[in-house]
Amino acid sequence: MIELQDYLRDAICEVFNVAMGKAASSLSVMMSNPVGLNVPSVDILELDQVGDLLDELTGPNVCGVAQGFDGKFDGNIVLVFPETKSLELVRMLLADEVPLDVLSEMEQEALTEVGNVLLNACLGTIADILGERIKGEVPAFVQGARNSVLLNSSSEVGGKDYGMFVRIGFSIGDEDVTGYVVLVLKLSSMRHFVSMIDKFLTRLET
């Protein structure tokens, strides 16, 4: 279990807020419509607990975008929406003239790209702050029970994975949708990540 001290939690929250700032400006240009993104909270939990929390927040079926990465850290980063909200989000983003009942192939691809912009911003910012190169894989659209979505992201066979659970608020025009980014790392990587953030803060202070 990793207990986050308040100043670290705030710092990590800030890292993701910086990332969201970058992602929001890219998305706004892509959509020719102002897109707002913010990170109200960050928690580090065991992956099972992340699943339970997602169940509470999203219901059993989710959909989203997953992207693997390796380098000094390896793991997965997943953007998750409740299945119903994903349709709403895509409609908000794409302003489709004839909505279908399910996400079409093109809509899934569009959502994948939106997720990719957001997740790359997170990974890029983390890499910048940590001074490490992170190799990000090609993003994939994921859909189904939250377990299958998260388990596919699991990085370590047999060992316990940890998830950094980040709430993301999207606002496009007058509409708001909440999504979640889960950074899945094994325990050692998670500890390393937190300690690197701590060192980064110390460097800033001196």
Partner 1 sequence: MPGPLGSVKKSEAMLRDADGYFLQSLADAADVGLIVLESNSVILLWNAWIEDASRIPRGRALGKPLDDVFDIATSVRLPMAIEQALTSGLSSYLSPRFNGHLFPLFRMNTAREQGEPMVQSVVVKPLENEAGDKLCLIQIFDGSQAADRERLLRRTRSELEERVASRTSELTTEISRRRDVEAELRDAMSMAETANAAKTQFLATVSHELRTPLNSIIGFSELMTLGTLGKIEPVEYQEYTNLTLNSAMHLLELVNDILDVSAIEVGGLQLVESSVDLNRLCVDCVARVQPLAEERGLLLSNGKGASLPTITGDRLRLEQVVSNLLTNAIKFTPSGGAVKLEKAVNSDGDILLAVVDSGVGLTETEIAAAFEPFRQIQRGSAGKHEGVGLGLSLSRTLTEAHDGTLTIESVKGEYTKAVMCLPASRVVAD
Cα 119 to Cα 64: distance, rounded to the nearest angstrom: 11
Among 100, 159, 176, 195, binds partner 1 (CB under 8 A): 100
50 vs 185, which CB is nearer to partner 1? 185
Our finding on whether 134 is near partner 1 (CB under 8 A) is: yes
Our finding on whether 95 is near partner 1 (CB under 8 A) is: no
Least distance in Å: CB of 35 to partner 1?
13
Stretch that binds partner 1, among 39-47, 134-142, 157-165, 174-182 (CB under 8 A): 134-142
Among 1, 3, 6, 138, binds partner 1 (CB under 8 A): 138
Cα 19 to Cα 118: distance, rounded to the nearest angstrom: 8
Q: State the helix-helix crossing angle for 6-31 and 187-205, rounded to 10 degrees.
A: 90
Least distance in Å: CB of 33 to partner 1?
12
Our finding on whether 136 is near partner 1 (CB under 8 A) is: yes
- Catalog residues that contact partner 1 under the rule CB under 8 A: 26, 29-31, 67, 71, 94, 97-98, 100, 104-107, 109-110, 112-113, 116-117, 120, 123-124, 127-128, 133-139
